[in-house]
Amino acid sequence: MSIIYLPFEFLIPRRPVSLQAKRKGLQEWKNFVRSEAQKVWQGSSPIQNTNLQLTLVYLCSDYPPDTDNIIKPIQDALVGLVFEDDNLISDVESHRRFISNPIDFINLPLLLQQGVLIGQECVYVKVSESQALEKYL
């Protein structure tokens, strides 16, 4: 039985590519996301048989892509590495904040604090176990 390393989090230090991007650019983006995740993934095999939550925080500058269009490419890039299949993702949270606006980062996860301090576009990604529905409502 494999050990589940959750929550798993990493930072993508680049502007995300929209699901609507040209095929070549989209595949390059997915490859980049996967390579960033591989740098910190400690699991020996992908997570199986566990309902998961995907949380994204996009720290953006001007004219960002739509939040809903950045979810699927990131999720797809993690298939086979972090989780066996994207059907294990039962909950998704996606947030977008402009880096030009003040962000109180005191209570943010350390990795997201680092993203705020860098002051450049990036995406914070966290994969965790899903909670009971009432925890979200």
Domain boundaries defined on the chain: 8-130
Name which of 49, 40, 31 is nearest 7 in CA terms. Answer: 40
Q: What are the b/e assignments for 3-33, b being 16+ CB within 10 Å?
A: eeebebbbbbeebbbbbebeeeebeebbebb
pLDDT tens digits, 72-108: 999 999 999 999 999 999 999 999 999 999 999 899 9
Q: Which residue has the tokens 């409502």?
A: 137
Q: Is 50 exceeded by the pLDDT of residue 8?
A: yes
DSSP-H helix ranges across the chain: 23-38, 67-78, 110-118, 133-136
pLDDT tens digits, 21-52: 788 889 999 999 999 999 999 888 899 999 99
pLDDT tens digits, 56-66: 999 999 999 99
Q: Residue 10's pLDDT is what?
A: 97
Q: How far apart are CA 63 and CA 2, in angstroms?
A: 42
For the 8-130 domain, the top CATH level (class) is alpha beta
pLDDT tens digits, 103-131: 998 999 999 999 999 999 999 999 999 99
CB 7 within 8 A of CB 128: yes
Chain centroid offset of residue 99 CA: 17
